[in-house]
Structure 1
Amino acid sequence: MGVWAVLIACIIVIAAPRARAASANDNARILAGLPVASDSPLAPLTSQAGWKAHSHGFDAAFKRVEDRQLSKIRAWSKDNVPASPVLFYMFSGPDFLYANSFFPDASTYVLAGLEPVGQIPDLETLPRSGVDGALRALHTSTQSALNLSFFITKDMKRQLRASRVGGALPVLYVFLARAGKTIESAELVGLDDAGELHSGEEAKGRVAGVKIVFSNPDGARKTLYFFSADVSDASFAKHGLQAFLDKQGAGSALLKSASYLLHSGNFSQVREFLLTRSVSIVEDDSGIPVASFGPDWRLDAYGRYSGPIAIFSKNYQARLARLHQTQGHRPLPFGIGYRWRQSDSNLLLAIKKRSENSETNAQKKAATP
């Protein structure tokens, strides 16, 4: 009888369902201060005082940025910016928040910045102190983006380096989750010189990146790429990023708080790529200089151009000032960029003229699942 009892117990143990592992979406929601399903291995974290404080803090911060900027950006973009299937966002850091707000209909987002990618967040492997530290670091590292609309790269790198969950990935997770997206998969990748993606061991030693597949609440599947990459002329065409971007076809570009690097001769290749492959560009004055746009572009100025902030004063654009003066005042209902106050912000919407059909085709492609 004792033998049978042991056998039955073994069968019960073998047949018992194994607890599921925490998904990428579970990790993203915990980092974002959002609840997870009750059967998630991470669900117990939501009862901890530290996580509750983190959640309340992010609730308030994201409500402020939604009311002050993001809702207004989406409305402005819907009225003015052509839909596009692909978004090129150079000098972005992990800023999916504004990429999604300006271009909600894109199906592919390609972001690039100097921030390290980091590892795939796995909160199950961290002690309680590690989770608490990661949540505190996320609050600090996202503060400038939520309050000023841009990252202070060196500060973010320092803050996340001190955390057990570092790099751009946890910030991307937070912004995706807070935008209402569901992360289906996240994979570390590397780019070879031909612009081909590699994963696993083959990704090592290449341009580091991450590929995130996510879905909208309506079920539409989309892809986000972030690459930790130097886009100066010394690197842009040599290490695979330009080749990868070329494979994406025509798209649109977003440029903001870009340190006026595209005013420099050291970034001529990425500037030329964006001018050649984009059907529309949304930028503040730190992006591509107005003088670089040819006659095949229609330029519409919004907001108020007061010139660069003091540390970038040499990048004043007389042509941009004349464009604002000639076109009169088109209101900009939100603040953006280094001059982040609404009354002092500017945006340029550049739309390529030579093919109005390009806009129509882009809209059709963006609407295709």
Structure 2
Amino acid sequence: MISFVRIAALAVALLSTATLPARAAGTATADDTARFLAGMAPSAGSPLAALTNDPAWQRHARFFDTAFAELERRQISKIRAWADTNLAAPRPTMFYMFSGPDFLYADAFYSKASTYVLSALEPPGSVPDLTRLPRGGIAAALYNVERSLGSILSFSFFITKQMKVDLSAGQIGGTLPILYVFLARSGKTIRDVAPIALDEKGAAYFGNENPGPNAARGARIIFAGSDGVERTLYYFSTDLSNSGVQASGFLKFCATLAPGNSLIKSASYLPHSGNFTTVRDFILANSATIIQDDSGIPLAYFSPKKWRFFPFGRYAGPIAEFPGRYQQSYAELFRRSQPMDFGIGYRWRTHESNLLLAVRLPADESGGADTTSSAPSAEPSPRPRKPRPPAPFWQSRDFFWFSR
């Protein structure tokens, strides 16, 4: 929980905003706004530059510097190393269903993707002109951003019920400000942001165009990494249940980008449910590789003639909040698992986490093309090399102080 010390610091910061200098004229760019929200200095000529003198922003910057540096050391750098070792010839597109605004892990696992498609129920929201917030509004907005990121920085996942409250609080809400923070902290430069909506056929509409009442709505973000190459991030707020995807054009849009690679993490075991069979079948039919924890697609739905499995870590079964989701076949598969040196998913501690890499076999190995897929079969990935030995357990005991 947030400590009384931090609450007191916030109160001091709110009072101190009365002494801020006059704000610069003009509208901040999306990239400068992302950097500011992430606790990183915007460009020198930005109208947000003067607001970095606010003690609330300076405290926020120190807090995020520490939190993201610790997350990088404990987990993100190790995930990148694991992906470099175990993933070969990744597809340009990566699908991350049930993701929330979690670009951070999408980029860590699939850093070479050129198109990212994230989807969940949470609305995209908007990011207002921060220079026009009322006095004290900056401190409150930054505090809300910190609160929204608390669980994912601690455990590697968003707590859904808590996120619904956090993303609707204050003047900055929705998933867009969190995506901004993750892009900035991942070293990306935002070049363009536009609202997007899909009609029932999967055609995309931008700006204020209205394709109908069942449209899947979200945002398209064009960004570049350190190499300067432009990439695209789509976030869609859409119902992924069977009735939801049948009423929208979301999966039809995704099919235009397939085949891709998929990530499923901390998905509330929804792919186990009979109400999510359509999106589950889409992932199986349109993925060259699937990286998932045990909350993803049950092993029984993978054809062993079409997939090769590489288990990592330890399968300890679902946490108490999800009873009845234990998989005996998963337990048997993980008896021959390879070690991994980072935690992920609901069992976020390193020695309890599991990760399954499923690689689609080429047609000649599986005895024919995958008849459930409308996409061509993927090129095979070579068998992963054995990863580095796990780090000492003491290195994984970094449960952030603000989650206590």
Do the two structures share a fold, i.e. TM-score over 0.5?
yes
In the other structure, the counterpart of 2:147 is 140
With over 3 angstroms needed to count, the CA separation of the structure-2 counterparts of 1:248 and 1:121, relative to structure 1, is farther
In the other structure, the counterpart of 1:21 is 27
Q: What amino acid sits opposite 1:230 in the alignment?
A: D
Q: Aligned pairs, how many?
A: 342
CA distance in 2, matches of 1:184, 1:212: 8
Q: Shift of residue 360 of structure 1?
A: 6.9
In the other structure, the counterpart of 2:312 is 302
The structure with the largest helix share of the pair is: 1
Note the alpha carbon deviations across 1:156-195, whole angstroms, 9 max, x for none: 2212312211000000000000000000011111111111
2:125 to 102, 118, 126: 118
Runs (4 or more) in structure 1 with deviation over 6 Å come to none
In the other structure, the counterpart of 1:84 is 91
In the other structure, the counterpart of 1:358 is 378
Q: Shift of residue 238 of structure 1?
A: 2.1
Q: What amino acid sits opposite 1:133 in the alignment?
A: A
Q: What amino acid sits opposite 2:298 in the alignment?
A: P
Q: Secondary structure at the match of 1:193?
A: coil
Note the alpha carbon deviations across 1:315-342, whole angstroms, 9 max, x for none: 10000111112xx241011000000000
CA distance in 1, matches of 2:119, 2:344: 19
Please say if 1:259 is aligned against 2:268: yes
| Contact 1:262-1:268 at 8 Å conserved across structures | yes
CA distance in 2, matches of 1:38, 1:351: 46
CA distance in 2, matches of 1:20, 1:180: 25
Q: What amino acid sits opposite 2:306 in the alignment?
A: D
| Contact 1:305-1:321 at 8 Å conserved across structures | yes
Q: Secondary structure at the match of 2:344?
A: coil
Q: Shift of residue 311 of structure 1?
A: 1.9
Q: Shift of residue 217 of structure 1?
A: 1.2
CA distance in 2, matches of 1:273, 1:122: 39
Q: What does 1:5-154 align with in structure 2 at a 5 Å threshold? A: 20-82=26-88, 83-154=90-161
Q: What amino acid sits opposite 2:359 in the alignment?
A: I
CA distance in 2, matches of 1:114, 1:247: 22
In the other structure, the counterpart of 2:197 is 190
Percent of aligned pairs sharing the same letter: 49
Please say if 1:207 is aligned against 2:227: no
Q: Secondary structure at the match of 1:347?
A: strand
Q: Secondary structure at the match of 2:330?
A: helix
Q: Shift of residue 125 of structure 1?
A: 2.5
CA distance in 2, matches of 1:98, 1:178: 12
In the other structure, the counterpart of 1:226 is 235
CA distance in 2, matches of 1:182, 1:24: 9
1:172 to 179, 194, 201: 179
| Contact 1:121-1:170 at 8 Å conserved across structures | no
Q: Shift of residue 236 of structure 1?
A: 1.0
Please say if 1:321 is aligned against 2:327: no
Q: Shift of residue 128 of structure 1?
A: 3.3
Q: Secondary structure at the match of 1:201?
A: coil
| Contact 1:299-1:350 at 8 Å conserved across structures | yes
CA distance in 2, matches of 1:359, 1:45: 50
Considering only aligned residues, what root-mean-square deviation do their CA atoms show, in Å?
A: 1.6
Please say if 1:236 is aligned against 2:248: no
CA distance in 2, matches of 1:190, 1:247: 15
Q: Secondary structure at the match of 2:318?
A: coil
Please say if 1:330 is aligned against 2:338: yes
In the other structure, the counterpart of 2:3 is none
Q: Shift of residue 133 of structure 1?
A: 1.3
Note the alpha carbon deviations across 1:108-161, whole angstroms, 9 max, x for none: 000001111101442123123222111101101101011100001221221231
Q: What amino acid sits opposite 1:170 in the alignment?
A: P
In the other structure, the counterpart of 2:12 is none
With over 3 angstroms needed to count, the CA separation of the structure-2 counterparts of 1:314 and 1:51, relative to structure 1, is same
Structure 2: give runs of 5+ residues left out of the alignment.
Answer: 1-23, 366-376, 382-404
CA distance in 1, matches of 2:344, 2:379: 25
Structure 1: give runs of 5+ residues left out of the alignment.
Answer: 1-17, 362-369
CA distance in 2, matches of 1:359, 1:71: 27
| Contact 1:189-1:203 at 8 Å conserved across structures | no
| Contact 2:362-2:379 at 8 Å conserved across structures | no
| Contact 1:120-1:188 at 8 Å conserved across structures | no
